[in-house]
Amino acid sequence: MLDELVGHTLLLREEFAVTGTLEVVFHKPTPIETPLIGTATIDKRDGRKVFVSARVELAQNGALLASAKGILIKRPADHFVRHEEWLAQQEES
């Protein structure tokens, strides 16, 4: 979930990136079938590197369940097309 939050932070801005690193800290157990709130923020940019942080909280009281810091590497849109083609070829063989 945290990887998706971090990645979509750029995707919503129509920027394409891959996860370079993702460090996750689990603060509390996450109950099942309970509404959660996830947020992510762009903290800094350095060339193609984008530093992002994210957190997941209980919707009912804001208790912090997990947090993450990641570095995303910006890529051109055709990067994903090339890799989708490669993955499809691996499934065929």
Give 10-residue mean pLDDT values along the chain (93 residues). Answer: 90 88 97 96 97 98 98 86 80 76
- Which pLDDT score is estimated for 27? 98
Q: How many helices (H) and strands (E) does the chain have?
A: 2, 4
- Which pLDDT score is estimated for 86? 80
Region of 33 on the Ramachandran plot (φ > 0 left; ψ -120 to 50 alpha; else beta): left
Q: Model-level pTM greater than 0.85? A: no
Q: Domain 2-92, what architecture?
A: Roll (3.10)
Cβ atoms < 10 Å from Cβ of 44: 10
- Which pLDDT score is estimated for 30? 95
